[in-house]
Chain A
């Protein structure tokens, strides 16, 4: 009898440990390139992400072909020439969220440290952003620069769009608690 009770307690704690996973399937990533001739902005609303409140682990996955551009031809060139998205179909982040308090309910600052892989090249990033912990939602927002050169993204040699060598990336995620 005692054993059964213990087992039940164990199972319950196991369940609560699992419930600390948060997920998003509609995360938004926007990148903005500002250059003298043309500003280019592209949006992606199909980013998936997982966040574990117990360990602070954070991962997200950006399907490159899901970026939407103001011009459809630009989108084609972005995939074929810059990102080579048939070879590198996704960008990923694998890291940890630090510098935040779990009990804080208002907006607070936090850091995401980890490996950002774009165009098959992994670079360590320390991204600062804001965090908002709600009842069953966690909102994260960050703006950070990405240098094309760091990820071996080449601008085609034949005269092309005017593209900034550094683009500004805005990430906006609303994580929902995974209910089992």
Chain B
């Protein structure tokens, strides 16, 4: 009896199983799918390579050239005579080139102090990489700037014109809308304005971005500087809006800093945001893909 039942089972299963398999072909594929594991990293953390004044963990992929045009106008509280700051602009023209997905080199020229800056940006870890699953992205940025302003009253050699900064950017995309970033930073100035001034400066930055619509994000950026000096400098604070349109990102912002490199806005910001020392500014980025992606 049991043998017959067994036989019946096999005979039946012969007809039933292929039919069952037919219904489940897609489910079978889904259960084997690698989509969850292989493509876990967010496609982007921030919309642009700059948060407002400083860098984001975002870099373009290999072979991309990014052209950046940035302006910071004068203070809005200078009134109608200065057209609310529009008469005085600090401009930066910059080029960022990504040699590899994890390596970007950049140069820039700022009209303020006739300053040249260059940086290297190294991706150390990408959020959600399959091996570690660590939910943060880590990027290192080292920056050097040369102030080429002529100062006849001071014997200026190259050493005195140089400033450096080093940053560790730690960012996490929390969900499809929000991303946060922490930026421990060290800035070194070879020449400081007062004899008693310190050459080194530590700061901790914090930033965030929130998606309002599919193409518009609001951003904020703040750097707290750990210094005992009382030379009138302040902590840079900025609020912005990012508008993305294909190959361009338009970033509009309000900030108390007029300089756009870490070596400038960290030690030398003097505006007090809450007293109206606010600069309107923008960054416009244009992306060019120079080599084909792998």
Contacts and interface: CB of A to CB of B under 8 A. Distances in A.
Interface of A: 3, 6-7, 10-11, 13-14, 17-18, 20-21, 46, 48-52, 54-55, 57-61, 63-66, 68-73, 75-77, 79-81, 85-87, 89-90, 92-94, 156-161
Given A50-B29, A63-B39, A57 B22 contact: yes
A94 B30 CA distance: 11
A60 B29 contact: yes
Interface stretch (B11-19, B67-75, B223-231): B11-19
A10 B7 CA distance: 8
26 contacts: A10-B14, A14-B10, A14-B14, A48-B32, A52-B21, A55-B21, A57-B21, A60-B29, A65-B35, A68-B293, A71-B247, A71-B293, A72-B61, A73-B61, A73-B289, A75-B43, A80-B214, A81-B215, A89-B35, A92-B26, A92-B30, A94-B25, A156-B215, A157-B213, A159-B246, A160-B246
B39 A89 contact: yes
Contacts, number: 135
Given A61-B30, A72-B64, A81-B214, A66 B39 contact: yes
A50 B11 CA distance: 25
Nearest to B4: A3
Interface string B237-259: 00000011111000000000000
A59 B60 contact: no
Given A55-B21, A73-B247, A157-B215, 11 more contacts: A14-B14, A18-B17, A52-B18, A60-B29, A65-B35, A71-B247, A71-B293, A72-B61, A77-B244, A158-B216, A159-B246
What's the dominant secondary structure at chain A's contact region?
mixed
Contacts of B30: 61, 90, 92
B6 A7 contact: yes
Contacts of A63: 33-35, 38-39
A81 B44 CA distance: 12
Nearest to A87: B176
Contact of B18 (A54, A66, A86, A93): A54
B33 A48 contact: yes
Contacts of B82: none
A18 B14 CA distance: 10
Q: Which 6 A-B pairs have the closest CB atoms?
A: A72-B61, A59-B25, A10-B10, A65-B39, A59-B26, A55-B22
B87 interface: no
B233 interface: no
B118 interface: no
Interface residues of B, number: 47
B226 to A, nearest CB: 36
A6 B244 CA distance: 69
Contacts of A71: 247, 287, 289, 293
Contact of B25 (A10, A57, A73): A57
Given A13-B14, A14-B13, A55-B18, A73 B287 contact: yes
B25 A52 contact: yes
Nearest to A92: B26
Contacts of B246: 73, 77, 159-161
B44 to A, nearest CB: 5
